[in-house]
Structure 1
């Protein structure tokens, strides 16, 4: 960072099953944006630029959403980076402030989705035009193609590879989901707040072997937002008590390794995450041993295990053992996904990365209620989108 950057206000809606509430994407954005501004004690007239993230929607939905907060004429940038959209919007906001262009900006993410499984490139009329054509083609070459949702299929194939290569068990995969469902009980913003046993998760409907329904993130409606400011703004407006520093942030996209290894574990983002994590550790001077709380992209239970390894929480192939030993829940070395994660909190694509930012901010401020991680001072967020992009962010307070 060329200069210090802080998050001083966050807000989010409750994440909900699509089509269960009479609202539209701009209603969600107004609710989350108003909450973030109110949390910061900042007026929308003080915001100099807006990064608005969403995946499903026509051009300039970002303007339509931001206009609910005010008509001030500020630039609004529409951001789409698949499931990493929310963290990409946050990264743009951070860069504007770190580069000295602005003192106060808003990152806003929202999504209004349809019920049912998230579609993918295999359903396109022109498969070769799909941004995931290369990913799904390799998946099909390695494991065939079945009439199941392609995103579940590629992650399910990654899970089977992990099991065959490292001895990971179906029970360990289910333990990830059980942990995150258990954490969500204390999150009023979570789409689901039900606790399940490992056995119940294993016995749930299979989506794509070995992944069951309770190990897959749902489609969701919702929005989240963050007010990002400079050190000068924090001092001028007396916001030090609530300011959470963005210490380092990095984005990585696919390299040749993702495809040359001919492994779905790499196709779904392990090299990207590893590269982004390495860079934030180098820039921040911090390592995984310094982190207290983590929000990571558990779109499927296997991705949480893959991400443990890519972030350096454990060695390659040791993710199953880490969760089985209780290393990623309360009383363990880290608390991972105290919000319930994508699996239980929900996954409105454009909002997910900013909801992670909100959870880490609350944790580092000590205001996370029943899910508070005691003494949390350093937090990390990880958000990944196939196609691809992985964003890793390190936050610190005090």
Structure 2
């Protein structure tokens, strides 16, 4: 049987541009999660923090930073960093501690105070950092990268600007219903089309902003949940934090100079698809079992790509799935019921945790006007540092 841990509490600090310390956002989210779980801070046996490289020294030791802010009480601490996958890796670390018997209750916290404008690698010149090289040598900021994805979909699958706009319209309508979202205003396809071009073909309303915010989870063993009187909690059944499969060294490559027939066999699936496959295999389910999905919509076009990589439809059929209404509220598989990053923006260490907060609320039937009727299985997905990513599957 798949090893499971219970989600006993969820908590968030609203996303926005507040101009305060990430510690304040994370602490507020942590206290909200503890209240939701019906626990006190001394009940926590371990704190796992998702790091923020923009928070200076405290951000690099986020677990200890949050433990100190909440008050020293003897809990274990751990800190993890994997860019946008940091939150899911923090969840994976917490789950491992619980399943190993090191703690019955673990608090997972991520928060960020993002700078204005485009993200850039921290710490000055870093020629061994692929992101630094991409920015410095190619001038490819993240929106430019998103634009390349969008152009590829248009060329290969026939997606249109109108398709991309429909993603924003859907997510903005859901974000308008979410009290934690930064942008709580519905938009029309015409407004998306009229917004400024940032990285052709993507407009301002096609891409996500950078934001401040925080999110937290209280995870516990199944035995603890039962002792706490929660007979049927939301359970995390799978956490996938996989890396790409590509040749790493010259020794792995064929001698293409002397053997014209030699070729590297391309991977049978994209990284995003491998993230999902690993999660499905661990959870013992398939995409047909899902009630909802929270995906990493850095751009409207990228959300369509996730539909395919999660197996919600066939390759090249993402826009068709969207136009049919399958990913909207009331559809076969609602996607980004929280409003997605389109409505929140990026608070990097918090966003994978926030995705699980949304799934947990949905599975509890506690998402208010955003509620997916009869939700029983949810998946999250995002990419992270050096191209690897993460996916969490929760069930009830």
Q: Structure 1 length as normaliser, TM-score?
A: 0.89
Match of 1:116 in 2: 117
> Partner of 1:66: helix, strand, or coil?
helix
Match of 2:391 in 1: 392
**Cα distance change of structure 1 residues 278 and 30 upon mapping to structure 2, 3 Å threshold:** same
For residue 110 of structure 1, give the secondary structure of its aligned residue in structure 2. strand
The two structures have a TM-score, normalised by structure 2, of: 0.89
- Which residue pairs with 1:8 in the alignment? 8
Partner residue in 2 for 1:176: 167
8 Å contact 1:171–1:198 — kept in the other structure? Answer: yes
CA shift, 1:114, in A, is 1.4
Q: Deviations over 1:56-92 (max 9, x none)?
A: 2223243222222221122211211111111111111
Residues 291 and 377 in structure 2, CA contact (< 8 A), matched pair in contact too: yes
Structure (1 or 2) with the larger CA radius of gyration: 2
1:246-325 alignment runs, 5 A limit:
246-256=236-246, 271-325=270-324
**Partners of 2:3 and 2:237 within 8 A in 1:** no
Q: Which residue of 2 aligns with 1:96?
A: 97
Determine if the alignment matches structure 1 residue 165 to structure 2 residue 156: yes
**Among candidates 37, 41, 55, match of residue 40 of structure 1:** 37
Question: What's the RMSD between the two structures over aligned residues?
Answer: 2.4
What are structure 2's unaligned runs of at least 5 residues?
Answer: 254-265
- Answer yes or no: is the 8 Å Cα contact 2:330–2:372 preserved in 1: no
C-alpha distance in 1 between matches for 2:374 and 2:200: 39
CA–CA distance in structure 2, aligned partners of residues 303 and 218 of structure 1:
15
Q: Does the Cα contact within 8 Å between 1:83 and 1:386 map onto a contact in 2?
A: yes
Q: Is the 8 A contact 2:112 2:213 kept in 1?
A: yes
| Contact 1:257/1:271, CA 8 A, preserved across alignment | no
Q: Is the 8 A contact 1:37 1:43 kept in 2?
A: yes
Change (3 A) 1:393 1:354: same
- CA displacement at 1:389 relative to structure 2: 2.4
**Secondary structure class of the residue paired with 2:241:** strand
Per-residue Cα deviation, 1:344-379 (whole angstroms, up to 9, x for no partner):
122200110111111111110011111111111111
> What is the match of residue 258 of structure 2?
none
Q: Distance in 1 between matches of 2:114 and 2:345?
A: 12
Structure 1 contact 45–70 (Cα < 8 Å) conserved: no
Aligned length: 376
Q: What displacement does 1:42 show?
A: 1.5
CA distance in 1: counterparts of 2:132 and 2:271, whole angstroms: 18
Q: Determine if contact 2:234/2:394 at 8 Å carries over to the other structure.
A: yes
- Residue 51 of structure 1 deviates from its aligned partner by 0.9
Kindly tell me: are residues 60 and 124 of structure 1, through their superposed partners in 2, closer, same or farther at Cα, counting changes over 3 Å?
closer
Partner residue in 2 for 1:188 = 179
For the Cα contact (< 8 Å) 2:13–2:215, is it kept in 1?
yes
Question: Gapped runs of 5+ residues in structure 1?
Answer: 261-265
SS in 2 for 1:97: helix
Q: Distance in 2 between matches of 1:136 and 1:309?
A: 28
1:30 aligns with 2:20: no
Question: Within 2, Cα distance between the matches of 1:315 and 1:332?
Answer: 17
Q: 1:236-291 deviations in whole A, cap 9, x for unaligned?
A: 111235x2111112111222189x9xxxxx99xx8222112112212222111111
